[in-house]
Amino acid sequence: MTRTFEVIADKGALWVWGDEDEILFTEDARRRTLLPIWPHATVARLENEGDVDGEHAIRIPADVFLRDWLPQLREDDADIAVFPVEEHNATVLTLDEFRARMTAALRMN
């Protein structure tokens, strides 16, 4: 998972899935609301393309995600699913855990 944060820091962005109106959220077995994120658009597309017309990978600059998205996710009581593939999450992080790991990766970059 460390590599995921290194890639995001190196590229300066992460990817989510959605359309012009909504971003895709999922739930885990514990019924937690999760925002799936990926370090590459290609992987996001492989996981989701064709599910719903008009949905696509959306690039979010890492600094914008930290500044604008994390506060909104906190209001939505959501956690983050890192690099979900075939219905398995590499890991699920709380917003604070995500912020700490992403901030550290950005500093190292």
Closest CA to 17 of 64, 102, 97, 83: 83
Residue 27: strand pairing partners: 33
Q: Is 42 exposed, middle or buried (0-12, 13-18, 19+ CB in 10 A)?
A: exposed
Work out the pLDDT band at 109, boundaries 50, 70, 90: confident
User: What is the pLDDT, as a whole number, of residue 79?
Assistant: 97
> Does 87 score more than 80 pLDDT?
no
Give residue-wise pLDDT tens across range 25-57: 998 888 999 999 999 999 898 888 777 788 999
Q: What percent of the chain has pLDDT above 70? A: 98
Q: Mean pLDDT across the stretch 53-82?
A: 95
CB of 23 closer than 8 Å to CB of 35: yes
